[in-house]
């Protein structure tokens, strides 16, 4: 690329303090994977852990594994491990079910903490499931659901809950968690953060923020695998008062009493619902080992530097109709860069054909996720070089890349 030599990226790789972490993943040879914000790559240790859970724990130890192999305590154990990555002291994060289910739990419990207020605010650009569940909880509890732009958030005296995603999944914009949390609390409301696109790439300090509740998935930057269970954070100060709507037997104070009325367990255990997906949770637990000895500040620094390199290279392609949608300022940026182009879909397909996997979000965004643990600076350079060649030769206008169906969102 004329305006930035590959040697610049090679030099950055040579100085990369996180270069060692790539060995902890099985990424196919020759593939440049820029979709870790949708489905994270496979950590090398997962295969053996899942095989052990199937063959030894299930195959040999059978029912004894609930205690003998620690299946019973997996939701709390994995929850605490995730908590360490999002600034939550132990006993406040529980792993289980999908993000959508956890949003329902969190939003309902949060609204019930402010029973005299009748409004729930969410972002008009929030991920669809966050909006649908906001509406569902609104219908259930008789709340008015209002969609707002987090850039000019106003929290009136009737607002019970504000729920936002830390990072906009389309544009990659990062909101100011601290300022917003402070503003919501000043208005007497509670905040539910969705950290799907933040956990594992941004230093989030939920306890330090004084956040009330949060949710996140584990299959994006936490690399837990397809359909891996999500997590719920409930600040300790709210746990006793939290009236969670899904009262399954595993969250009962005495789960083996198996009779009588539901009394919630003490602490975070009340967020347990039913039998957890053990095999998936074993995979998540093994996947989290890639964080051993990894400095979160180094992850953020590399994520921002990869983004800067990508933006610089994208700026060189402006003449081809490509524009950068993601904010340039680091403090407003998550860990992806979204590029706008009228033929973004065709570009994403032509890139995939060249072994560069990003994704497309309708109507015109090419989304490139930057997972600092397994991505190098030369990966970014090579990906953008491929994009330049495609644009220059108009490779993406070939008939096989024409759009025939919509892609799956996440
Ligand atoms: C990925 C994502 C989800 C996914 O929800 P699931 O129930 O896990 O399918 C929800 N919200 C946001 C903001 C996301 O980025």
pLDDT digits (tens, 9 = 90+) for 359-398: 999 999 999 999 999 999 999 999 999 999 999 999 999 9
199 lines ligand 1 (CB under 6 A): no
pLDDT given at position 98: 98
Q: Is 302 a catalytic residue?
A: no
pLDDT given at position 132: 98
Angle at alpha carbon of residue 288, lines to 286 and 291, rounded to 5°: 130
Which of 25, 104, 219, 221 is the catalytic position?
219
Residue 343 has pLDDT above 70, yes or no: yes
State how far the Cα of 35 lies from the Cα of 20, in Å rounded to an integer: 20
Q: Which of 76, 90, 121 is nearest to 231 (CA)?
A: 76
Q: Is 127 a catalytic residue?
A: yes
- 29 Cβ contact partners less than 8 Å away, ≥ 6 residues apart: none
State how far the Cα of 44 lies from the Cα of 21, in Å rounded to an integer: 11
State how far the Cα of 79 lies from the Cα of 84, in Å rounded to an integer: 9
pTM of the predicted model, to two decimals?
0.96
Average pLDDT for 243-258: 92
pLDDT given at position 3: 75
DSSP 405: S
Is residue 149 very low, low, confident or very high in pLDDT (cuts 50, 70, 90)? very high
Q: By the 8 A CB rule, do 153 and 179 touch?
A: no
pLDDT given at position 259: 76
The stretches of 316-376 forming alpha helices (DSSP H) are: 344-353
Q: By the 8 A CB rule, do 192 and 110 touch?
A: yes
pLDDT given at position 247: 96
State how far the Cα of 138 lies from the Cα of 241, in Å rounded to an integer: 20
pLDDT given at position 406: 56
Is residue 408 very low, low, confident or very high in pLDDT (cuts 50, 70, 90)? low
pLDDT given at position 256: 86
410 lines ligand 1 (CB under 6 A): yes
pLDDT given at position 404: 72
Q: How many residues does the chain have?
A: 410
105 lines ligand 1 (CB under 6 A): no
pLDDT given at position 1: 55
Q: Is 20 a catalytic residue?
A: no
Average pLDDT for 179-189: 98
pLDDT given at position 348: 97
Collapsed DSSP state (helix, strand, coil) of residue 317: coil
* CA separation, residue 135 to residues 124, 132, 166 (Å): 12, 5, 19
Residue 237: half-sphere exposure toward Cβ, Cα within 13 Å: 7
Is residue 234 very low, low, confident or very high in pLDDT (cuts 50, 70, 90)? very high
Pairing of strands 119-123, 159-165: parallel
Is residue 402 very low, low, confident or very high in pLDDT (cuts 50, 70, 90)? confident
Q: By the 8 A CB rule, do 13 and 376 touch?
A: yes
Q: Which of 105, 106, 115 is nearest to 141 (CA)?
A: 115
127 lines ligand 1 (CB under 6 A): yes
11 CA to centre of ligand 1 in angstroms: 36
217 lines ligand 1 (CB under 6 A): yes
State how far the Cα of 72 lies from the Cα of 282, in Å rounded to an integer: 12
Compute how many other C-beta atoms are within 10 angstroms of the C-beta atom of residue 342: 11
68 CA to centre of ligand 1 in angstroms: 33
Q: Which of 127, 173, 229 to mutate to test the pocket of ligand 1 (most atoms within 8 A of CB)?
A: 127
106 lines ligand 1 (CB under 6 A): no
Protein residue closest via CA to atom 15 of ligand 1: 196
Q: Which domains are seen in the chain, by residue range?
A: 6-44+295-401 (3.90.1150.10), 73-291 (3.40.640.10)
């Amino acid at each position: 690329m004329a305006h930035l030599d590959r040697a610049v990226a090679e030099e950055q790789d040579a100085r990369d303090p996180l270069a060692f972490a790539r060995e902890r993943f099985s990424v196919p040879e020759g593939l440049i994977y820029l979709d870790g914000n949708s489905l994270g790559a496979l950590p090398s240790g997962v295969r053996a852990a899942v095989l052990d859970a199937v063959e030894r724990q299930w195959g040999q130890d059978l029912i004894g594994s609930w205690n003998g192999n620690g299946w019973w305590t997996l939701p709390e154990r994995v929850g605490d491990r995730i908590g360490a990555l999002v600034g939550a002291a132990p006993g406040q994060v529980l792993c289980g079910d999908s993000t959508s289910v956890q949003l329902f739990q969190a939003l309902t419990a949060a609204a019930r903490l402010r029973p005299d207020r009748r409004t729930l605010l969410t972002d008009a650009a929030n991920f669809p499931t966050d909006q649908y569940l906001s509406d569902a909880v609104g219908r259930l509890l008789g709340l008015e659901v209002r969609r707002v732009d987090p850039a000019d958030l106003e929290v009136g005296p009737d607002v019970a809950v504000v729920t936002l995603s830390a990072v906009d999944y389309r544009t990659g914009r990062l909101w100011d968690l601290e300022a917003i949390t402070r503003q919501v609390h000043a208005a007497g409301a509670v905040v539910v953060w969705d950290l799907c696109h933040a956990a594992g790439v941004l230093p989030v300090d939920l306890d330090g923020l004084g956040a009330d509740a949060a949710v996140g998935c584990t299959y994006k930057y936490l690399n837990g695998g397809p359909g891996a269970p999500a997590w719920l954070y409930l600040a300790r100060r709210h746990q006793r008062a939290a009236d969670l709507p899904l009262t399954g037997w595993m969250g009962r104070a005495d789960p083996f009493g198996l009779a009588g009325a539901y009394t919630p367990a003490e602490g975070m255990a009340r967020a347990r619902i039913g039998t957890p997906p053990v095999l998936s949770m074993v995979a998540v637990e093994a996947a989290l080992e890639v964080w051993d000895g990894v400095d979160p500040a180094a992850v953020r620094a590399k994520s921002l530097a990869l983004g800067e390199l990508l933006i610089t290279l994208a700026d060189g392609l402006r003449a081809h109709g490509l524009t950068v949608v993601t904010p340039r300022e680091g403090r407003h940026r998550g860990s992806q860069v979204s590029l706008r182009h009228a033929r973004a879909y065709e570009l994403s397909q032509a890139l995939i054909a060249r072994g560069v996997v990003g994704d497309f979000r309708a109507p015109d965004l090419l989304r490139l996720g930057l997972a600092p643990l397994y991505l190098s600076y030369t990966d970014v350079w090579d990906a953008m070089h491929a994009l330049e060649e495609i644009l220059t030769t108009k490779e993406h206008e070939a008939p096989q890349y024409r759009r025939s169906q919509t892609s799956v969102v996440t």
